[in-house]
Amino acid sequence: MPVTDQAFVTLATNDAYCHGALVLGQSLRNHRTTRMLAILITPQVSSAMRTALCTIFDSVVDVNEIDSNDVVHLALLKRLELGVTFTKLHCWTLTQYSKCVFMDADTLVLCNIDELFDREELSAAPDSGWPDCFNSGVFVFQPSIKTFNLLLQFASEHGSFDGGDQGLLNMFFSNWATKDISKHLPFIYNLSSSAIYSYAPAFQHFGQDAKVVHFLGPAKPWNYKYNPQTRTVTEDGSGSVSTSQLSFLELWWKIYSSSILPLLNKMEKSSESKIQKEEADIIEDEDKHESENPSFSNSLPVSAQKEQVSEMLGSLLDELSAKDCLQKAECNFDINIAEPSKSSAASSPQSIFQPSAEIDIVTCSASELSIQPKPEEPSAEDERRKWEEGHIDYLGKDAFENIQKKLDSFLL
Amino acid sequence: MPVTDQAFVTLATNDAYCHGALVLGQSLRNHRTTRMLAILITPQVSSAMRTALCTIFDSVVDVNEIDSNDVVHLALLKRLELGVTFTKLHCWTLTQYSKCVFMDADTLVLCNIDELFDREELSAAPDSGWPDCFNSGVFVFQPSIKTFNLLLQFASEHGSFDGGDQGLLNMFFSNWATKDISKHLPFIYNLSSSAIYSYAPAFQHFGQDAKVVHFLGPAKPWNYKYNPQTRTVTEDGSGSVSTSQLSFLELWWKIYSSSILPLLNKMEKSSESKIQKEEADIIEDEDKHESENPSFSNSLPVSAQKEQVSEMLGSLLDELSAKDCLQKAECNFDINIAEPSKSSAASSPQSIFQPSAEIDIVTCSASELSIQPKPEEPSAEDERRKWEEGHIDYLGKDAFENIQKKLDSFLL
C-alpha cells in the first residue's frame, strides 16, 4: 500500500544528472518502494528529459537555481559546479510530504530502503573524507517552510565551509557528530565508491550489505561507456577502476540500458509524432497547443499518459537484460545497431536520437553505449573563469587579433 | 598532580617505530599530561633504544609479538607488516592502570588531551576509510585480563577482517557505530593525514582544532628528511605533500631534532663509556655487570639514571628550536656538522652514531637530518614471502647455481 505523504526526493540541474535521476528512480521502483518519488529540476533541464522524468517520478517540481557564489571555497574542492547544489535546499519546501529521504542523482539503490523513513531529521551517514561530517548525498528530513527559511538565512549569514550544500547542512545541523547516534545512518546507506579503495578489507567485509552506492567524484556512471554485449563498462580513461566499482557501474548501466534507454527512445518518438501533429494543428488553432501537451508544461499531478507508458514498460523492467534490450531494440525501439564486422566511418556509433539540440546524444553500436552531452555554448561567466584560470585559447577566440579588435572597438 | 593509575600507552615493534614513540611521548610531556606514559616493546627493539625510551616513558614493558598469520587478508591492504600490530592487544594486560588511552607510535599530540580519560571503553574516532569502523590508532580502554583473554579467543575463532588489530577490535567492539555516541571520539583526536587531501575544505574549517595527528599510510615522519636550517621537511619522493601535512611533519621533526636527537646522542655516549667501563670491570667481576646497568635489563621502575637524564634535558625541551639544537649539538652533543661549502664525498652526511649494528643510523649534515634503519639480515620468513611475491634475486641468493646446490644437497 503506497504511503503518499512520504517521498524519496532527488534533484537534477541539467540533462546529464537526469540520466542519473532516472536510474535512481528506476532502482527504487525495482525494489518496490512504497513511498512517492519526487524530483526537483531547474530550468536547464530540457522539456524532453522532463517528460521522461514524469514517467518514473510521481512529482516533477520546477525550482530556481540557488547559487552559493562562493568561488573561493568551491575552488578548494576544485568542483565549481557544486554551487548549484544549494538548489537542494528547496527540498524543504515539499510540505505536501510529512517526511522525505533526499538522495543525490548519482546514487543507486541496491535493495528496498523504506526503513529509512523510521529515522528523524536530520539523519545521514558519515562522510568518508571527514567522518565527523555527514555526507549530504542521502539524508532523512522533514519538509518545513520554517526550516527552509532558516537554512537560507543561515547560508546568507555564514556561507558554507565547502561552498556547497554539504558544508552548509553540516554547519546548520552541527551537533550531528556528537548528539544522537540514531541519526547516524549506517555507512552502507551511502557507500561512497571511493571507500572501495581506501579500506579494501572493510569493503570486502561489510560491502556485501551495501544498500545504496554513491558515485562520488567527478566521473559519474554516465561518463563511462558500456558494452551491452559483454555487459561491461569501459573505463573512462581517468584511471584504474576496481572490480567492485565496475560491478556497481555495470549495474547502473544494466538498469539504464534495460529501462531508461527504451523509455527515452519511446519519449523521443512520441515527441516527434507530437511535433508533426502540432505542426498540423498549429495552423488550425495555436491556442490549443499547451493544454494538449500537459506533461511538457505541468509537473503535477501524475498524468494519465505517464501511467500508460509506465505500465507498458513495467513488464520489461525486471526481466530485460542489456542483451534482451538490444534485441528488442532492433524490432521495437529502432536503435541503430552497427555490426562489428561492418564498422567503418559510415557505420560507426550512431545517435539513437537526432532530434534537436535539446537532449543528450545517446550513441549506440554493437559494442558501445555512451551518453554525450548536447553541445552547449559556453557562458560569458565560464569564459571569464577559464581566462582567469589560465586556460586561454591563444589561437581561437582569445587570439591576439580578436583582443586587438575588442580594444579597438573601445578606442574608436 | 600526577594521576598514577591512568596512562597513555603506545607500542613499538622495532627501532623505527621507537623514533615515533619517543616523539609521541615527548609531545605528551610538552603538553603537560598528568597521566603516566607506558610503552609496550617487542624483542626486536634494541637495548640502546630501550634505554632511550626509559627516559621519556614511565614504564617500558616487554611483550612477545602476536602475529595474526593472516597473510591473505593483510595482502588486501598491501601492508604485510600490520600483522605484528596484534601485539597491541597486550595493552589490556596493563592492569596496574584503571584506564588507559592507547596511541599508535605514528601519532603526534598537538595539545593536552587528558580529557580523553573521561571517556569509557571502547571510545575511538571514526576511520576515514570506512567511517562505521573506528580507527584503532587512538582509543580509550580499560585494562583487564578477562578482556585480553576474550580478545585472544575471539581472534583465534574469527580472525580479523583486515588481518590487523583494527579489524579485530572493530569485530569485537561491534556496536561502536550504532550504540553510544559518547564512545565516538571527535575526529580531531585522530586526524589522519589523508583527510587533509580528501576533503580539503573540511580540514580548513575544522583542522585548526586538531588535537592529535595520525601519520597513516606507509610513509612515516621518520622516512622523510629534514633540513634543520630552514626547518623544512624534504619530500620522500612518494608524491606531493600538502602544505598542511608538511607543517605536521615539520612539527614532528622539530620535536625530534630538539628533544629526541640530543637524548639519543646522550644515550649513545653514555653507552659507549659504559661499554669501556664494563670492558675494564668485566675482568674484575663478571657477575656485577647486570646490577650496575639496571636500565638495560629491567623496564620497571623508573631508574634514577633516567630521572637525571630527564632533568638535564628538561630545561632544553620547550625552548630548543632545531637551530638551537644544532648549535648546542656542535658544543655538547658532538654532532658532526658538514659545512655546505665543504661538502664532498669526505664530508658528506656523516653518522652521529657509529656504535654497532644495534641502532638506526641518524645522519646529520648542515642541510639534512635523516634516519636510516640499521641493516638487517632478512629472516627466512621474509625470504620466503619475497620469493612468493615474485621478488626473486635471480643473480644473488636465488641464482640457479645456488638452487641447484640446495637440490643436490637433498639428492646426495
Output the pLDDT for position B45. Answer: 96
Q: Which of A82, A115, A130, A185 to mutate to test the interface with B (most CBs of B within 10 A)?
A: A130
Mean pLDDT, chain B, rounded, equals 75
Which of the residue ranges A233-237, B20-24, B193-197, B235-239 would you say has the lowest mean pLDDT? B235-239
Query: Which chain B residues are Cβ-neighbours of A187 within 8 angstroms?
Result: 130-132, 177
Query: How close is the nearest chain B Cα to the Cα of A141, in Å?
Result: 20
Given A128, A162, A181, which is nearest B131 (Cβ)? A128
- Average pLDDT (B285-294) is 43
Question: Cell 619530500 maps to which residue?
Answer: B235
Are the beta carbons of A155 and B195 closer than 8 angstroms? no
Given A127, A162, A205, which is nearest B161 (Cβ)? A205
Render pLDDT for B84-130 as a digit per residue (tens, 0 to 9): 667 899 999 999 999 999 999 999 999 999 999 999 999 999 999 99
Buried b (16+ CB within 10 A) or exposed e, A151-166: bbebbeeebbbbbbbb
Q: Please, is A108 exposed, middle or buried when counting C-beta atoms within 10 Å of its C-beta (0-12, 13-18, 19+)?
A: buried
As a whole number of angstroms, the distance between CA A215 and CA A107 comes to 6
Q: Are A186 and B198 within 8 A, CB to CB?
A: no
Are the beta carbons of B201 and A167 closer than 8 angstroms? yes
Given A125, A130, A195, which is nearest B129 (Cβ)? A195
What are the Cα distances from residue A337, in Å, to A183, A252, A324, A352? 49, 21, 13, 9
Question: Cell 595493552 maps to which residue?
Answer: B91
Q: Which of B132, B135, B184, B192 to mutate to test the interface with A (most CBs of A within 10 A)?
A: B132
As a whole number of angstroms, the distance between CA B340 and CA B367 comes to 7
Given B128, B178, B201, which is nearest A128 (Cβ)? B128
Output the pLDDT for position A170. Answer: 98
Closest CA to B324 of B247, B264, B265, B259: B259
H or E stretch at B313? helix B304-317
Q: Please, is A1 exposed, middle or buried when counting C-beta atoms within 10 Å of its C-beta (0-12, 13-18, 19+)?
A: exposed
The strand order across the sheet containing B369-372 reads B232-234, B225-227, B369-372, B361-364, B350-351
- Domain ranges in chain A? 3-223, 302-411
Rounded to two decimals, the ipTM of the complex is 0.73
Closest CA to A131 of A190, A81, A77: A190
**Count of beta carbons in the 10 Å neighbourhood of residue B178:** 12
Beta strand B232-234 with B225-227 is antiparallel
A38 forms beta bridges with A9, A59
B292: pLDDT strictly greater than 60: no
Query: How close is the nearest chain A Cα to the Cα of B131, in Å?
Result: 6
Query: How close is the nearest chain B Cα to the Cα of A36, in Å?
Result: 28
pTM of structure: 0.74
Q: Does residue B59 sit in helix, strand or coil?
A: strand
Q: Which residues of A touch B (CB under 8 A)?
A: 73, 76-77, 125-133, 161-163, 167, 177-181, 184, 186-188, 194-195, 198-206
B134 forms beta bridges with B126
**Most confident option among B70-74, B87-91, B333-337, B341-345:** B87-91
DSSP B318-387: TT--HHHHHHHIIIII---PPPGGG-STTTSSEES--S-SSS-EEEE-SS-EEEEPPP-PPPHHHHHHHH
Per-residue pLDDT of chain A (412 residues; tens, 9 = 90+): 899 999 999 999 999 999 999 999 999 999 999 999 999 999 999 999 999 999 999 999 999 876 666 666 656 556 555 566 678 999 999 999 999 999 999 999 999 999 999 999 999 999 999 999 999 999 999 999 999 999 988 888 888 898 889 999 999 999 999 999 999 999 999 999 888 888 889 999 999 999 999 999 888 999 999 988 888 987 665 556 777 888 999 999 999 999 999 998 887 777 677 667 766 665 555 444 444 433 322 233 334 344 433 443 333 333 333 333 333 333 233 222 222 333 333 333 344 444 444 556 666 666 777 887 665 555 555 555 554 454 544 444 555 455 455 545 544 4
The domain made up of B3-223 has a fold known as Spore Coat Polysaccharide Biosynthesis Protein SpsA; Chain A (3.90.550)
Are the beta carbons of B40 and B53 closer than 8 angstroms? no
What are the Cα distances from residue A292, in Å, to A153, A275, B203? 41, 12, 54
Buried b (16+ CB within 10 A) or exposed e, B107-141: bbbbeebbebbebebbbbbbbbbbbbbbbbbbbbb
Are the beta carbons of A145 and A156 closer than 8 angstroms? no
A403 versus B58: the higher-pLDDT residue is B58
Output the pLDDT for position A352. Answer: 43
